[in-house]
């Protein structure tokens, strides 16, 4: 089992110093393409809040117009510490690239006004923007230290398989060599995915959750009010993206319902999240004749989602590819029974029979078998929920994550 506390040699000695000997990190600027109810953004808001609580000066730059104000509020930043650039796009593409050039001068002025010395950039658009910002700021004052924070298996999900992508990869790689100070990865799987490209001063910093946070059970019950009767509830949280495995899970769910004769009064699937796969998911629900047994909630406030984790009988995370899997640790922290795949970083989070039940990623037969076993023994405990929660707190608690982040920031600001 990978050890998330393992330091790459460059920071081991500093990370082990007593906390009182580590200097307070220099002012930090966090760059995000958008602020939505998704894993990377929610994680960033928690980190910003905790860095401020530890006395670190933090500011935030949001590249696009796509901002969920409720998620942004979790950072507890004053508006003067937020730069909203309002790019019409939050993904790398023509629209994003055409707009970013006009934003760079304003971004450089904001970074200078905030006294930023360290940049933490999230997601590929943020990585590119941080590299260009580094170059623009070279003539304006002290050099920025750019930390690239990677949350997904980027190269696997978006391979350089066209001439245009290969040309962009060359340009972006050159910029990385010029600008990047270090690279953080949410899992060993993410680090391995990027190993064929350019990285330096690598460190694994897994995501965390507020393991003691109580979900909003009242909000969760309100979302479930439209479901008649008292069926066994399966919750599928996360963005509606192809990599999350919705279509495969609907296939397995339909097989279970048909084989067991389970109707709407027995079994109900609740899908919480939004994304570009919604139409395909709706079509699959119709094709499998599951309209009466599946509810699409759309985007759900984070506190209500935590409440749903605590209310559901089973939480599923059947990802085909996954950098880490925030929803899995959040569900475990709420005491839920989790059934997940071994895709990417999920294999580093889920321990079969200890904190979850695990099946091979993409194997619909194995998934169906697991669902059937759970259904047949649904009144019996499959795991020790209290032990799983304690393990989750020890490995993925917010406190240990922030201690490690402070140590890594101290190294970034001091070398």
Give the pLDDT confidence of 121-130 residue by residue, as tens digits: 999 999 999 9
Q: Is residue 65 part of a domain?
A: yes
Q: Is residue 200 part of a domain?
A: yes
CB 356 within 8 A of CB 385: no
Each residue of 386-396: pLDDT tens digit? 999 999 999 99
Same domain, 196 and 315: no
Domain extent for 387: 217-395
Distance of CA 49 to the CA centre of its chain: 17
What is the pLDDT, as a whole number, of residue 10? 36
Confidence of residue 25 (pLDDT cuts 50, 70, 90): confident
Same domain, 239 and 344: yes
Instruction: Tell me: pLDDT of 152 over 60.
Output: yes
What is the pLDDT, as a whole number, of residue 214? 78
What is the pLDDT, as a whole number, of residue 23? 62
CA distance linking residue 139 with residue 110, whole number of Å: 15
Average pLDDT value for the chain: 90
Whole-model pTM: value is: 0.85
Confidence of residue 224 (pLDDT cuts 50, 70, 90): very high
* Helix, coil or strand: residue 56: coil
Same domain, 275 and 329: yes
Q: Is residue 3 part of a domain?
A: no
Confidence of residue 155 (pLDDT cuts 50, 70, 90): confident
The percentage of the chain sitting over the pLDDT mark of 70, rounded to a whole number, equals 94
- Quote the longest CA-to-CA distance of the chain: 70
CATH code of the domain containing 114: 3.40.50.2000
Same domain, 117 and 238: no
* More confidently predicted of 208 and 9: 208
Q: Is residue 314 part of a domain?
A: yes
Same domain, 193 and 64: yes
- CA distances (Å), origin 212, targets 44, 283, 399: 18, 38, 11
CB 183 within 8 A of CB 386: no
Confidence of residue 18 (pLDDT cuts 50, 70, 90): very low
CA distance linking residue 45 with residue 119, whole number of Å: 15
> Which of 218, 233, 244 minimizes the C-alpha distance to 324?
244
Same domain, 185 and 233: no
CB 34 within 8 A of CB 125: no
Same domain, 158 and 223: no
- CA distances (Å), origin 369, targets 236, 384, 390: 18, 21, 28
Q: Read off the pLDDT of each residue in 175-184 and give the average, rounded to a whole number.
A: 96
Confidence of residue 415 (pLDDT cuts 50, 70, 90): low
Alpha helices (H) in 242-290, listed in sequence order? 246-260, 278-287
Q: Is residue 1 part of a domain?
A: no
Each residue of 333-348: pLDDT tens digit? 999 999 999 999 999 9
What is the pLDDT, as a whole number, of residue 14? 37
Instruction: Tell me: pLDDT of 8 over 80.
Output: no
Same domain, 193 and 223: no
Each residue of 43-96: pLDDT tens digit? 999 999 999 999 999 999 999 999 999 899 999 999 999 999 999 999 988 899
Each residue of 264-303: pLDDT tens digit? 999 999 999 998 999 999 999 999 999 999 999 998 988 8
Q: Read off the pLDDT of each residue in 173-183 and give the average, rounded to a whole number.
A: 96
Instruction: Tell me: pLDDT of 6 over 70.
Output: no
Tokens describing residue 121: 């950039």
What is the pLDDT, as a whole number, of residue 356? 96
Domain count across the chain = 2
Q: Read off the pLDDT of each residue in 232-245 and give the average, rounded to a whole number.
A: 94
Same domain, 184 and 115: yes
Same domain, 275 and 198: no
């Amino acid at each position: 089992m990978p050890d998330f506390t393992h330091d790459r040699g460059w920071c081991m000695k500093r990370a082990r110093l007593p906390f009182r000997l580590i200097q307070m990190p220099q002012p930090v600027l966090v760059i995000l393409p958008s602020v939505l109810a998704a894993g990377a953004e929610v994680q960033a808001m928690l980190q910003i809040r905790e860095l401020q609580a530890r006395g670190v000066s933090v500011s935030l730059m949001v590249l696009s117009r796509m901002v969920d104000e409720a998620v942004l509020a979790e950072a507890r930043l004053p508006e003067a510490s937020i730069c909203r650039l309002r790019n019409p796009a939050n993904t790398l593409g023509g629209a994003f690239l055409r707009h970013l050039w006009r934003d760079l001068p304003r971004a450089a002025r904001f970074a200078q006004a905030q006294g930023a010395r360290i940049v933490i950039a999230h997601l590929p658009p943020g990585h590119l923007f941080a590299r260009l910002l580094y170059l623009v700021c070279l003539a304006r004052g002290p050099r920025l230290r750019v930390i690239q924070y990677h949350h997904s298996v980027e190269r696997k999900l978006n391979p350089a398989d066209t001439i245009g992508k290969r040309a962009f990869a060359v340009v972006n790689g050159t910029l990385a060599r010029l600008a990047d100070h270090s690279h953080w990865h949410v899992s060993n799987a993410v680090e391995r995915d990027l190993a064929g490209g350019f990285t330096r001063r690598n460190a694994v910093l897994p995501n965390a959750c507020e393991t003691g946070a109580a979900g909003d059970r009242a909000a969760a019950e309100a979302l479930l009010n439209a479901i008649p009767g008292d069926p066994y509830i399966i919750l599928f949280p996360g963005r509606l993206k192809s990599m999350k495995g919705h279509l495969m899970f609907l296939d397995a769910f339909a097989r279970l319902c048909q084989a067991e004769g389970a109707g709407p009064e027995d079994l109900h699937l609740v899908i919480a999240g939004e994304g570009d796969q919604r139409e395909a998911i709706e079509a699959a629900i119709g094709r499998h004749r599951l309209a009466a047994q599946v509810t699409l909630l759309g985007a759900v406030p984070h506190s209500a989602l935590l409440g749903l984790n605590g209310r559901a009988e089973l939480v599923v995370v059947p990802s085909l590819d996954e950098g880490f899997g925030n929803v899995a640790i959040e569900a475990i922290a709420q005491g839920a029974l989790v059934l997940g795949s071994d895709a990417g970083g999920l294999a580093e989070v889920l321990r079969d029979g200890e904190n979850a039940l695990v099946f091979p990623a993409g194997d619909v037969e194995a998934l169906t078998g697991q669902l059937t076993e759970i259904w047949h023994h649904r009144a019996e405990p499959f795991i020790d929920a209290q032990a799983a929660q304690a393990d989750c707190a020890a490995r993925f608690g917010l406190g240990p994550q922030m201690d490690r982040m402070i140590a890594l920031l101290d190294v970034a600001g001091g070398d």
